[in-house]
Chain A
Amino acid sequence: MTIGVVGEMRDGKLTQETIEAICRAVHVKEQLKMTIELVLMESRENFDSPWIDRWGADRVIVYERDHSERLEMEAKLSTLEAYVRVTKPLALLFAGSIQGQELAPRLATRTSASCLVDCTAVKVDPVDQELLVTKPIYGGNAYGEYSAPFPCYLSFRAKSIAVEVKKEVPISIQWRMIEKTNEKVAVVSHRLLSAATYDLEDKKILFVCGRGLQKLENIKRVEAIASRVGAGVAGTKKAIENGWLPLETMVGQTGKILAPELCVVLGASGATPFVHGVKNAKKIMSVNKDQEARIFEVSDLGSADDCESVIEAMERKFV
């Protein structure tokens, strides 16, 4: 029996989301004796194998892609269909990335598997021998536990598991050819308009701007303070919708899930979907002039002052 992990690489290295998916697979393996296969679609030029054996996979299957060509979604799906046909995995775990959340349901439909995305926990039902999967429902205000029959495809919410380094053991790396697509997708062209930055994930200090900041000028003031203390600046859904910050900086259930050491939340009410994006922070300090705001329920320190007063106080110290 095999559990497959559909992984992703960035700059030749496994992404954090992929490592988290492997760690999930290790947890499942502890309950059901299975082999963990890490499935990648990468060119030989980009593939860097050091450290690939430290997370608990038993085998690595790399579908070789052309280094110079973009790999279309349809080609990825056809390749994974071929993998499923050959291996018949009991479960496939996808990286909790945008791509992973898209591949899982589409492949499940093609290969008649059950599927859940944005999951936060999984265990094996010892009686029915199926997976019991937890995911947020009602905008993250509650959780649902689902019975997922095999074969089952899952993708997990980023940072919902602490990664553990396993004992490094030599593992085999098997190269296969990527599947050719049947060209039914009529995608004429692609062009990257703005490149994502992964700075926010690496920042130890994060300032999150909410609607309570009221105007773009205040966001700029926060950005100036943040640059002085080496902090990242992110936004709530409302701040993004107002055009104050780019979409890629959105924090929350449908944005980034971040875990900085210190998170300073300015002018956010604390809607549950947003809280899911910051609750893993070691310390949360919040400002909202409504003393009853939900953000204080998850904060360590709060100020019910006007955001501008706090920004002014910060400027006196830092700018």
Chain B
Amino acid sequence: MKQVLDLDQVLSSDWIVQENQTIDLSYANRVINTYDELGLEMMLRLQDEDPKCNSISLTVGTEDTESMLRKALALQVEEAIRIDHAVSMSQTPQAVARMLCAGIRKIGDVDLVLCGRQASGSDYGQTGLILAELLSWPCISLVTEVVRRNEGWVIIHQVDDGLEEVVVSGPVVLTMTQSADHFLRMATLRNTMDAKKKAITQWSLSDLEEWKLVKETAGVSLSRIFTVEESNDCAMVDDPEFFVDRMIEEIQKMNQSEGVSL
């Protein structure tokens, strides 16, 4: 899971790049990345279905990511692990995937890894795919549903041709995308209070013996941030009828050029 800034709180006028090539978003709340929430909810559903299923939330981040892990614990995730490392905009997905890979190998007996398709911030959209490569596991991307059956993981995901059901028999990495009626459940007040007392396992990179063994790949580097003013002069109309008349005019103009009547 990744903690990100709640960009919905940021006003259009606040997207200003400072001289040091950063944007001041310090007032925005820190939240669980939307797509990671879908992965968390999916894991909880698998746990609901099979109480023997052990659930772990794993993140890379500093101490301030622990509020996110406590939220997961409040939702009855059994264990929370934080790899202590500050993740910044300049961090490449390769570097994060290497740390996650080493963490998953340290955990050991893992059958399924769920992660979001991308995180708002750097928006790389690559970490889950790279992680699967580093683990030498298959990766099914843009997943909307997963259940455990005798034959393996039955996964529904989005492909260019539509929605596909895939059955995978071994361990697999899934990257989650949005789908209907998949929202992260709410924790009860009692569970939220209890989660505050639970321990969060913390690993430093030196604890991850395998970290340096994971192959390092070439990375890109962020050299400049900029914004683009995308503003139209929008003419506002008061009357719905007038709005629809203007819409009809536009359609008629298009149809006239093609010789079609409305």
Contacts and interface: CB of A to CB of B under 8 A. Distances in A.
Given A184-B136, A205-B251, A141 B167 contact: no
B12 A297 contact: yes
Contacts of B55: none
Contacts of A271: 8
Interface in A186-216: 186-196, 204-205
Interface string A229-259: 1000000010011110001101000100000
B186 interface: no
Nearest to A310: B240
A184 B163 CA distance: 24
B125 A117 contact: yes
Given A188-B151, A191-B165, A192-B162, A149 B243 contact: no
A193 B118 contact: no
Given A186-B170, A262-B254, A283-B250, A297 B164 contact: no
Nearest to B141: A102
Given A109-B94, A193-B156, A297 B231 contact: yes
Residue from A136, A284, A310 with most neighbouring chain B CB atoms (10 Å): A310
A149 B7 contact: no
Contact of B222 (A146, A240, A262): A146
B177 interface: yes
A23 interface: no
A187 B166 contact: yes
B244 interface: yes
Interface in A264-286: 264, 271-272, 275, 279, 283-286
A271 to B, nearest CB: 7
Contacts of B166: 187, 189-191
Given A149-B218, A300-B234, 14 more contacts: A74-B138, A101-B141, A108-B217, A135-B123, A137-B123, A138-B123, A141-B15, A144-B122, A144-B222, A146-B220, A194-B163, A241-B179, A300-B232, A305-B243
29 contacts: A97-B160, A98-B142, A102-B129, A106-B139, A109-B129, A114-B219, A139-B120, A145-B222, A148-B220, A187-B168, A189-B167, A192-B164, A196-B161, A196-B162, A240-B178, A241-B181, A247-B178, A248-B163, A254-B178, A261-B254, A272-B7, A275-B230, A283-B250, A285-B247, A296-B234, A297-B12, A297-B232, A302-B237, A312-B240
Interface of A: 8, 73-74, 97-99, 101-102, 105-106, 108-110, 112-118, 132-133, 135-149, 151-152, 184-196, 204-205, 229, 237, 240-243, 247-248, 250, 254, 261-262, 264, 271-272, 275, 279, 283-287, 291, 294, 296-305, 309-310, 312-314, 317
